Amino acid sequence: MSKDAPVASSPSKPALESGTSQFQELDVALSFVAKHNWKFFQIVSLAFGFLMFLVYFCQNSFYPDFDLFSFISLLAAAAVLGGGVLAVVGFGFAAPGWIWSEMFFSDKQINEELGYRINKNTPKDKLDHRLTNRYFFFPALLCNLTLIVAMYFFDSDTAYTFGLILAPIVVGLIFGFFVQKNYELPSWSWLKFAFTAFLTFFICNLVALLSTLKIDQTFPEITLMIGQYPFMILSFFVTLLLLTLLTTFVRRDQRFLLLITPLLAFFLMLATNTWNVLPSNIVNQLGIGNYEAEQILLNSDTCEKYKVIPTYGVTSDCALNNVHVVWSMGGLYSIRWSSEGKTIKVKLPSGAIISTKLSETKKTTKN
């Protein structure tokens, strides 16, 4: 290939090198976070943990009492668990574009070869746009369609093998050959692109599939209205457009991902009702509430008070059966159970409960 065309930058510094940004607002925001990262992390983590518990308390119309140390510990634990979920969702959407760009197009030799193509007629933005459309969007679209067709014709295991594994490998090999030929890249480029494509489009298909399942679970009426496979095609296509947009941001400036993906993950989880179920799941995982108790044994004073109310269903041995424990930490507990067709919810001091026998799914007994 001819390398006499004018270039936007000297060969010693490839024109496609990422990291040079004109976005001053982004620089200011990231500089602030970098300067105050520890304080920022502490405040955001505790606020995030508090939000998780606040949602759970509001859902159950209950606010417990506990000491400051216990409360801060719970906030930190909730921040780790909830933040982990947020990070996983954000990583799922950021990973395809980042892997595709960093594992292949940021390679020094490939970067230099592509840099020679940048001139007045083909600026960097135009070349990046062309690369993203031809070698990210279309290969990913083929992998998406392969997975959908495989799920239509085969059972789950075979469909996932075709769509998640074989399709990214075959598509990566085909487009790797074309990108090497069209841009006259080094002879090994097709193999590196094939490996990059496998990781990229495997994650693309996985993210699209999980997103579709979550949306279907949250809004089943949409699937009923337009049909299962039309809904799947639409959901996969919208997810791919979103991933392509994020890939465009990566090619322009990787630091966009640091600000965009957490916000994107937050709003996606909000749209799919995840924030309504996540707090209760966190409380359950911490073992401080939202679990089923096979039997709760009351102390004598509480037992006598509750026995005089027939609808409470207290047994002769001062026990309540099949109880849902809303909260079981601190000085005030909240429990809920059904008796005679009615749901009963009470708040009682922790000392009123002698022991709690957990359901078989917990495989343990708390005393």
pLDDT score of 38: 63
Asked if the structure places residue 330 within a domain, the reply is yes
Tell me, yes or no, whether 247 and 293 share the same domain: no
Tell me, yes or no, whether 311 and 192 share the same domain: no
Tell me, yes or no, whether 260 and 295 share the same domain: no
Tell me, yes or no, whether 262 and 301 share the same domain: no
User: Which span out of 26-40, 97-111, 164-178 was modeled with the highest average pLDDT?
Assistant: 164-178
Asked if the structure places residue 11 within a domain, the reply is no
Asked if the structure places residue 283 within a domain, the reply is no
Asked if the structure places residue 17 within a domain, the reply is no
Is 134 in a helix, a strand, or coil?
Answer: helix
Tell me, yes or no, whether 75 and 181 share the same domain: yes
pLDDT category of residue 25 using cuts at 50, 70 and 90: low
pLDDT at 16 exceeding the cut of 50: no
Tell me, yes or no, whether 300 and 253 share the same domain: no
**Cα–Cα distance between 42 and 79 in angstroms, integer?**
10
pLDDT at 17 exceeding the cut of 80: no
Q: What is the mean pLDDT of the chain?
A: 82
pLDDT score of 98: 92
Contacts of 69 (CB under 8 A, 6+ apart): none
Asked if the structure places residue 10 within a domain, the reply is no
**Cα–Cα distance between 14 and 111 in angstroms, integer?**
6
**Cα–Cα distance between 243 and 257 in angstroms, integer?**
12
pLDDT score of 233: 93
Asked if the structure places residue 108 within a domain, the reply is yes
pLDDT tens digit string along 50-76?
888 888 888 888 888 766 677 777 777
pLDDT tens digit string along 249-270?
888 877 777 778 888 888 888 8
Tell me, yes or no, whether 209 and 356 share the same domain: no
pLDDT at 155 exceeding the cut of 50: yes
Domain containing residue 322? 288-366
Strand (E) or helix (H) holding 68: helix 68-100
Inter-residue contact 247 to 136 (CB < 8 Å) = yes
What's the domain count of the chain?
Answer: 2
pLDDT at 193 exceeding the cut of 60: yes
pLDDT tens digit string along 222-247?
888 998 899 999 999 999 999 999 99
Tell me, yes or no, whether 349 and 249 share the same domain: no
Count of residues making up the chain: 367
Tell me, yes or no, whether 86 and 224 share the same domain: yes
Tell me, yes or no, whether 85 and 224 share the same domain: yes
- Token pair 């135009």: residue: 126
pLDDT at 174 exceeding the cut of 70: yes
- Domain end call among 277, 305, 327: 277
The token pair that represents 50 in the structure block = 């508090």
**Cα–Cα distance between 6 and 14 in angstroms, integer?**
13
Residue of 118 and 325 predicted with greater confidence: 325
Tell me, yes or no, whether 262 and 312 share the same domain: no
**Cα–Cα distance between 179 and 113 in angstroms, integer?**
12
pLDDT at 204 exceeding the cut of 70: yes
**Cα–Cα distance between 261 and 269 in angstroms, integer?**
12
Strand (E) or helix (H) holding 263: helix 256-271
Tell me, yes or no, whether 294 and 348 share the same domain: yes
The token pair that represents 54 in the structure block = 């606040």
Inter-residue contact 334 to 345 (CB < 8 Å) = yes
Start-to-end Cα distance in the chain = 77
What global pTM score does this model have?
A: 0.73
